[in-house]
Copies of this chain bind each other. A is one copy, B any other.
Amino acid sequence: MLYGALEAGGTKMVCAIGDENGKILERAKFPTETPETTMPQIFEFFKDKGIAAIGIACFGPIDLKKDSPTYGAITSTPKTAWKNYNIVNATKEALGVPVGFDTDVNGSMLGEATWGCAKGISDAIYLTIGTGVGGGVISNGKLLHGMLHPELGHVRLPLVPNDPGKSVCPYHDNCLEGLASGPSLKARWGVSADQLADKEEVWEIESTYIATALMGYAVTLSPQKIILGGGVMHQEQMFPLIRKKFKELMNGYIVTEEMDNLDDYIVPPSLNDDQGIMGAIKLAIDAE
């Protein structure tokens, strides 16, 4: 069986044809411009490929409430051309197949839970730290939606002493996204993350914010694994720092196998950056 997968991002649209094992057979990429220019290219790619369903892992915020009149729409995005665009309805109409739909980060979480390092785990987190900070969550074996969907980048954090904490989040003074996203690194140090690789003080502060947030997620969502992806996490020297600080912050309060083995608890993605598009394949499989 063939499935369509669309990883709809703010800068590019990744399309793929995959099978029921998550194997990617063909792929294409289009820049995210406007629905009018971009979507026809996407539909053209999927047309006549014989897909049984399509999954869309989409930038947000999006309306995921199945009983909502605007289910399937991109809602209050700053990318105004896409605001209120109903990507699910448009895709269903153009391709005539069932459409699975979730957030981009829930897509990555689902990819890792289906074919990656979170396989067989009922409770896990996929956090991406890049231009923004967001997270997908599996809770009790299913993607977490609840009221809306998690917005993990917006937990409030105590400032690191002497960090002026100029939050880049337009909504929150001292949230994780405001203090630890790529743009916040640039605001704090004047240059972008990849130019700061050898600056210890940069990663000292960065890893403290990330570890503090992870400690909060750990006592709230009780995950069995935490996966850290996104551009900023390409600075892999941070993993040992984050684990060390997480351990100090937790201070032995929770006693579990996971806490005894943080190298296997706080980990990078396992699917060669295909976790998102593979998650979209799984969204298609589940929608069929």
Contact surface of A with B, Cβ cutoff 8 Å: 61, 75-76, 122-123, 139-142, 144-159, 171-172, 174, 212, 215-224, 249, 251-256, 258
Does the CB pair B155–A144 fall under 8 Å? no
Q: A29 to chain B: closest CB distance in Å?
A: 30
Cα A146 to Cα B217 with chains together (Å): 12
Partner among B158, B222, B249 whose Cβ is within 8 Å of the Cβ of A159: B158
Q: How many copies does the complex hold?
A: 2
Known contacts A158-B158, A158-B174, A249-B156: does B147 contact A218 (CB below 8 Å)?
yes
Does the CB pair B253–A146 fall under 8 Å? no
Cα A252 to Cα B169 with chains together (Å): 13
Known contacts A156-B249, A158-B156: does B256 contact A150 (CB below 8 Å)?
no
Does the CB pair B222–A155 fall under 8 Å? no
Does the CB pair B216–A155 fall under 8 Å? yes
Residue numbers in B under 8 Å from A217 (CB-CB): 220
Further 5 A-B residue pairs, CB within 8 A, beyond A152-B219, A155-B219, A172-B251: A122-B146, A139-B140, A147-B222, A150-B222, A172-B253
Cα A144 to Cα B249 with chains together (Å): 23
Interface SS of A by simple majority = loop
Known contacts A76-B255, A139-B139, A216-B156: does B146 contact A123 (CB below 8 Å)?
yes
Partner among B123, B149, B153, B252 whose Cβ is within 8 Å of the Cβ of A144: B123
Q: A154 to chain B: closest CB distance in Å?
A: 5
Q: A210 to chain B: closest CB distance in Å?
A: 13
**10 interchain pairs, CB-CB under 8 A:** A123-B145, A139-B146, A139-B221, A140-B142, A146-B221, A147-B222, A152-B219, A153-B219, A155-B216, A171-B252
Q: Which residue of B lies closest to A258 (CB)?
A: B147
Residue numbers in B under 8 Å from A220 (CB-CB): 150, 152, 155, 216-217, 220-221
Q: Which residue of B lies closest to A125 (CB)?
A: B220
Residue numbers in B under 8 Å from A148 (CB-CB): 222, 254, 256
Does the CB pair B144–A221 fall under 8 Å? yes
What 10 pairs across the A-B complex have the smallest Cβ distances? A146-B222, A123-B146, A139-B139, A151-B219, A158-B158, A171-B253, A140-B140, A155-B216, A154-B219, A140-B142
Q: Which residue of B lies closest to A145 (CB)?
A: B222
Residue numbers in B under 8 Å from A159 (CB-CB): 158
Cα A75 to Cα B253 with chains together (Å): 12
Cα A149 to Cα B218 with chains together (Å): 10
